[in-house]
Amino acid sequence: MTELTMAGGASRIAIYGARLGLALAVLSVVLLALAPIGWRAGLWHFRTSFWYLMEPAFFVGAGAAVVSLLSLIGWSGMDNASRGMALAGIVAGAILIYWPLQFYAKIYPLPILNTTPLPRIHDITTDTQNPPAFSAPVLAARAAEKGNSTDYDPKVGVQQKEAYADVAPLTTTLPPAEAYKRALAAAQGMSGWQVGANDPASGRIEASQSTLFMGFTDDIVIRVTPDGSGSRIDMRSESRQGISDFGVNANRIRSYMAALKSQL
């Protein structure tokens, strides 16, 4: 009788654990969902989303995975519904751990993952000596969002060269007018880009792109200038918000330059 009672108690604990694990997973999803919703709706600053929603979502998700895993100790005494909840809690918890961790791993040293932190910068350009400048409408839009200043800091250029040494201008034997056409076509073909002002006379192309999750806007400017008998194409990509871009701007420049090479 005592053994049966203990077995039944262990089964009940396992069932309650499965339910708790799934509940924690749901709570983690809610916290993660509220992060972009609140920022996009203007209810709070994006830092609130990062530190009071996304970071707790990571720990709650971890708790969901651990509790659900422990509940499987009583697998033999659990009904099918409880087993399903435990498995769902483990899978959901693992995903919810990975989602925030992949971002933090880019800026914090994590020996377990053997990662090299990226510099906390958000302004990347192929010309660190004379970066392309943004036009007045872009500056006004950034000011309306109380975004980052576009004044270029030479210290950022030093950090960029250490982390993104491959980010460089593209040169071509094409004359500026033709190079500009190819540059514009490449920009218009980039997924998610909103191409704005473009001026063939000055060789300027401007665009923007918003991040999928938080909806942050990054501003882009492309400059085509004469280079001997050919042309030089430079690019600058800068985030409106935040200190670190998690490598997004450098990757954007790489992607565009690769697309442009195919046009050239």
- Interatomic CA distance for residues 9 and 195, integer angstroms: 64
User: Is pTM beyond 0.85 here?
Assistant: no
Question: If you ran DSSP here, which 8-state letter would residue 54 be given?
Answer: I
Q: In whole numbers, what is the pLDDT of the chain averaged over residues?
A: 89
Q: Is the pLDDT of residue 182 over 90?
A: yes
pLDDT digits (tens, 9 = 90+) for 37-64: 999 999 999 999 988 998 899 899 999 9
Give the CATH fold of the 123-263 domain.
Alpha-D-Glucose-1,6-Bisphosphate; Chain A, domain 4 (3.30.530)
Within the chain, residue ranges assigned H as helices are: 2-40, 46-49, 55-71, 80-107, 136-144, 154-163, 176-188, 248-263
* Residue 221 identity (one-letter amino acid): V
Structure tokens at 199: 């001026």
Q: Are 18 and 68 in contact (CB under 8 A)?
A: yes
Q: Are 35 and 54 in contact (CB under 8 A)?
A: yes
Domain boundaries, the chain: 2-107, 123-263
Q: Is 44 helix (H, G, I), strand (E, B) or coil?
A: coil
Q: Is 5 helix (H, G, I), strand (E, B) or coil?
A: helix
